[in-house]
Amino acid sequence: MLIRIAGLVPESFVDGDGIRFAIFMQGCLRNCEGCQNPETHALDGGRLVDTSEIISEIKKNPLLDGITLTGGEPLLQIDSADELARAAKNLGLSVWCYTGFTFEKLPPETASLLENVDVLIDGEFIESQRDLELQFRGSRNQRIIDLKKTREQNKIVLWSEFGG
């Protein structure tokens, strides 16, 4: 399956917990002021690659803890994101996903993807709430949601690096 990407970071330490393979997906309609990745906004930018190529690269690194779907807006390419997340889970890796949507306003077509996402960072970047001290996010309105615990408890549960 083809996916339009802005780039890949085979070993990222800033796009989630542990060593992550970060997939910067191309395309975003939000154009948030102060976005750290404005080059990912154009829907026709970046380059097309086959998801099988990305999965092959992921398989080559036994040190990975997981993958991170970021961008751009991963939910604009939901089928490709879903395929990558399923492949990562089948490899025993965790999946983190960034989105400008809030959890409460996720489109219904994201259900399959979210079944394979462990942690969701939600909410668009708001420059007036920018905080360089935050872990894994850029502005105070964004949340790091533990989706497994959220599903289990049927309420939003925030992720904690200490498992709490």
pLDDT along the chain (164 residues), means of 10: 98 97 97 92 97 98 98 97 98 98 96 97 97 94 97 95 62
Answer whether residue 61 is part of any domain: yes
Calculate the alpha carbon distances from 44 to 6, 23, 143, 150 in Å.
10, 17, 29, 35
Residue 76 within a domain = yes
| Pairwise CA distance, residues 117 & 114, whole Å | 5
Note down the domain range covering 76: 2-7+20-153
The confidence score (pLDDT) of residue 155 equals 96
Distances (CA, A) of 131 to 38, 72, 82: 18, 20, 30
Question: Quick check: is 100 in a domain?
Answer: yes
Asked if the structure places residue 39 within a domain, the reply is: yes
- Cβ neighbourhood burial of 56 (10 Å; 0-12, 13-18, 19+): exposed
**CA triplet 67, 85, 164: central angle to 5 degrees?**
65
- CATH number for the domain including 45? 3.20.20.70
Query: Given this model, what pLDDT does residue 160 score?
Result: 87
Q: 144 lies in a domain?
A: yes
Report yes or no on 158 lying in a domain.
no
pLDDT at 163: 61
Question: Does residue 162 form part of some domain?
Answer: no
Residue 97 lies in a domain: yes
Output the pLDDT for position 161.
Answer: 72
**Total domains in the fold of the chain:** 1
Q: What was the pLDDT predicted at 123? A: 97
What's the predicted TM-score (pTM) here? 0.96
